[in-house]
Chain A
Amino acid sequence: MAEFEEADNAEAIITRIEHKSRKIESLLKQYKPVEALKTALEGSPPNTKDERCKSANWIVVHRAIMAIKDVDSLFSSLDPEYYDVLMKYLYRGLSTGDRPTCDQCLRIHEKLTEKAGLGCILRSLADKVNTV
């Protein structure tokens, strides 16, 4: 029974992520990359152990992260409540080993660490429950 529930839950999460993905595409078309990133980080990480959901959400967040051109203006409009979860996705990005992704994640990582301090890094590394 629990497995079925988990599967149903996973389907619901995937649907939500697809919806989020469409919203992000439209925000990117309107040249609102910061709004797109906020939307991507909203409800992240998905509250599930399902790796499929986590990957789907990562694809969406990755899309929004790569669309950020001006890192300084990102932090002038990104609220502190997003810092910890953004840091987690930056580390997921760095773990891919993909050159453009790593470059972009490091660029944001530098500014985010200035802004949110080492405590933010510690929180993202120490949390083994809400993994992204």
Chain B
Amino acid sequence: MAAVSVHQFAQCITCHAWSPDHSMIAFCPNNNEVHIYKLLEGKWEKIHVLQKHDQIVSGVDWGTESNRIVTVSHDRNSYVWSQEATEWVPTLVILRLNRAALCVQWSPTENKFAVGSGAKTVCVCYYEQENNWWVSKVIRKRHDSSVTSVAWHPDNILLATTSTDGKCRVFSTFIKGVDVKNSARASSESKFGEQIMQLDLSYSWAFGMKWSPSGNMLAYVGHNSMIYFVDDVGPSPSAQSVAFRDLPLRDVLFISERMVIGVGFDCNPMVFTADRRGLWSFLRFLDERITSSSAKSGSQISGKFGKFYGQSKYGSNDTVETSRTHGRAHENCITNIVPLKKPGDTAVTQFSTSGLDGKVVIWELQSQDDLSEYL
């Protein structure tokens, strides 16, 4: 089995993140709190509850280097939590938003973090030593709709965003005094907030997006059952749009330059791979080997449409709806995918997913023989 551990933490999980050594998990159980659980003698025990937000926590990220947790919420605020002795101490970060914060991510060197919001803006926050204060710089007037996802390029400067206007954009977030100029990188030439690229491939909401490990490629998904792969990020990008036959995705993760895992409304992670020529396609579902034969998917669909088609053979098909997810690791839409990479690991072979069913599932790719060539 690809799913090595399944744990029901709550009714619903909006977001989750792992401690640097993966011994603890922080997640929001669909309310204004963040719960931290630790694996003690084979059992997950709740050890902390981070209570400061007033509304649903929409994003959480745990810095691997700094061991700091950043949270954002629909209450339009963000907190950076540092561990002092046994307590987590919050520091308020004023984002100056007039709409909900939707997503957050630490930059690779963890001196900045980015927040996407419903105010059509992205806040890039950094720490100001002299004032002992987190400062938020805002990228305004670039997005036409809510920013659903942010992703940092490995160079710590470029930031990619997706939004509900269907577009994927890449910005420079160079901040004087925080980032050092590096003449080897073209991206450090540009000023803060400068748009490097805008992709207009999707006609519907765009969700989750990630960079490949090398930073040469990025992938994002649309609410129209499409996934987009972008190469040569810059003034003249080349892109591939891959349509698939199942429900749309919500988030993606690059495993290697040739393999991407997508998760979403099908409750089952999808594997996308690139062939030798770099052409991407859907390979298979990760959770048990479902062949995508038309006969099988036909039977899944007919439950819903049976009454419309008005044919008696579909009459007693009430069980079909549950059979779609029956016996699988996830029973509802998967909204998050997080890599489980220990310091020193060269490749990601483990990752975790969480979603509306309140489960956190850990997946292992090394046991999947047919995928080993893409790792």
A: residues with CB less than 8 A from B are 84, 106, 109-110, 113-120, 122-123, 126-130
What's the minimum C-beta distance from A76 to chain B, rounded to whole angstroms?
12
Given contacts A113-B305, A128-B203, 12 further A-B contacts (CB under 8 A): A106-B308, A113-B298, A113-B301, A117-B225, A117-B246, A118-B245, A118-B301, A122-B247, A126-B204, A126-B205, A126-B222, A129-B203
How many interface residues does B have (CB within 8 Å)? 24
Produce 1/0 per residue, B271-300, CB < 8 A to A. 000000000000000000000101001100
Known: A106-B308, A106-B309, A113-B301. A118 touches B203 (CB 8 A): no
What's the minimum C-beta distance from A83 to chain B, rounded to whole angstroms?
9
Bound Cα distance from A110 to B313, whole angstroms: 13
Chain B residues with CB under 8 A of A128:
203-204
B226 contacts A by Cβ under 8 Å: yes
> Is there an interface contact between B301 and A123, defined as CB atoms closer than 8 Å?
no
Residues of A contacting B: mostly: helix
> Is there an interface contact between B204 and A119, defined as CB atoms closer than 8 Å?
no
Chain A residues with CB under 8 A of B298:
113-114
Chain A residues with CB under 8 A of B245:
116-120
Task: Select from chain B the residue with minimum beta-carbon distance to A127.
Answer: B203
Bound Cα distance from A110 to B247, whole angstroms: 17
Bound Cα distance from A60 to B241, whole angstroms: 29
- Chosen A-B contacts, 24 in total, with CB atoms closer than 8 Å, are A84-B243, A106-B309, A106-B310, A110-B305, A113-B305, A115-B294, A116-B245, A117-B245, A118-B245, A118-B247, A118-B301, A119-B225, A119-B243, A120-B225, A122-B224, A123-B225, A123-B226, A123-B243, A126-B203, A126-B204, A126-B205, A126-B248, A127-B203, A128-B204
Known: A118-B245, A119-B246. A126 touches B224 (CB 8 A): yes
Chain A residues with CB under 8 A of B133:
none
Bound Cα distance from A128 to B205, whole angstroms: 11
Chain A residues with CB under 8 A of B143:
none
Bound Cα distance from A74 to B203, whole angstroms: 29
Chain A residues with CB under 8 A of B248:
119, 122, 126
Chain A residues with CB under 8 A of B305:
109-110, 113
Of the candidates A117, A122, A126, A130, the one whose C-beta lies within 8 Å of that of B297 is A117
B374 contacts A by Cβ under 8 Å: no
4 closest A-B pairs by beta carbon, nearest first, are: A117-B245, A119-B225, A126-B204, A126-B224
Task: Select from chain A the residue with minimum beta-carbon distance to B302.
Answer: A110
